[in-house]
Structure 1
């Protein structure tokens, strides 16, 4: 074995042991979160509302007018219309959410959103660690660096997997699991073979996670995919306060909502989030084109309804670097290709969760996979004195 391969094997071993528990938790919780929306749709009846005879949605102002008196101590800041046949959620800046029938404004349920999936998400993003150092979340930093280590492990693992010679015996060891062997060999194959098969998807999951965890990584991906360019600077758009028109806010919210589902949105047009500005300078915020875990933000002047400079470009008009940045979350959760990619990412995430376990077992029973040197037999000799 060359010095490079020895160093690589050493790094793979000790980085794996150091990050194993964290990688296991993050991968397993990510595996659970892949089908969060599908599971909720099947088990939470308050998410559904029958649409009577192709009825249209009630306008945001009408829903707010009917529901606000029922919750006098809560400020309704916006409405999330999930689509026809589904309830709408009122944003009330609380741990609870109010779900209403979007055709009648009848309150269907008041739900504490800190549920099982919220618990799993906290584990996935911060290991259930609430401690902070200043503004830094300790748990999030630990997850980010563990993800970076896992990225190194994937590369070093590929180097270890790569056969010295591409003969039939080595190909079988690299691509097949020998199910009829002893558990020690099966465990080694599960780590080695399944690790390779999940590599490409695991790299996508890891790199998109790093883009969310480190600004420098996100900027590097943009720089590489754009040919050396930097992302456009953030534009903080505000409504034109020189044109304040009294008592027009909710009327224009309704018009913005109609514009969003008839003109602006093109993907999944019936699903939209609309905000209620509570300051004269705030824009009306629309979230449209919520499709395959991607979305687009549109900001309108609350007086003129003109699109403001911070409005995001339609996804069909994005260049590669901007597309990667917009769809980073969708790529991370496997939503970019619908159910097919979700299943693929679920399986890859599940395999990633097993790698620390199988890898630890390989280390604990270290020595498997290395050619055993034949032991030299010591021949007994006897010195017989001649008489």
Structure 2
């Protein structure tokens, strides 16, 4: 018992960077068994972190070595992603553990580019991920995912869509259902109905996360998502520009009013680095997202550069995380993705859906 307490005490001092709290407080430490020769410790992380697992394994071993008194350590370290609480305690979707909305208060802040790279970042860290392009009037994800013009989802049983696979992601978009020459000219209720249909009638398969790329603003589409779909968390994308931050604040407040957990803010186009001389320049201002995060208790999950390469790769259909997985920009996206998933893992578990009951005659 004394050794077990010493192990727990040591783990209270171990704070993974992405998590921000110690392993005990995060509820990540499970069974601890100690006998004369061995100590067996189970740790279950609630967020994908494949690139950090071995480093964390060594951290745990180093932290526990002084208290084991010569015993061997059997460390069972793994990731287990669970559904987390959605607004108003709505049960999660049958094949989707966690829906994460990516939003912005205004257009032009790089929200869609951020959304697809965050989805790919979560996947690169070991999660099963889907991407729903909820911008009914201006869908851009089919282009960013590099899908050829005219790509259409397979339809099953007359009313269900099979997600279109791209870079390993399951995806769905209004862009698959219309042509470039057919603009969507709908009033709000019809657009909201299209979003509901894509969410409910797409045959998502065994997803840890479904990233929903919302249109800019705080209108019908956002309210429909909050009212009809279980959203485990929201991320607001902004630039450091004062006017963008004002709109980002509106986005944070909107999600809070509808009981959606705001995981944090992503500051995009934070700094421009000259490709010739390396000079850094904060074109859109500096420090605004950090001030906003303190005032509204929405942490800055990541700060991304203004980069020609990021834009070219997204427009070319191969987003940064898959185009240059070892680049500094790709690492920033993966770091941001881990932080948002880690923050979500600290919220309480959600209600699981009842399985569909099939009656046979």
For the criterion TM > 0.5, the same-fold answer is no
Structure with more of its chain in strand, by fraction:
2
Structure with more of its chain in helix, by fraction:
1
Structure-1-length-normalised TM-score: 0.21
Greater relative contact order (Cα < 8 A, sep 6+):
2
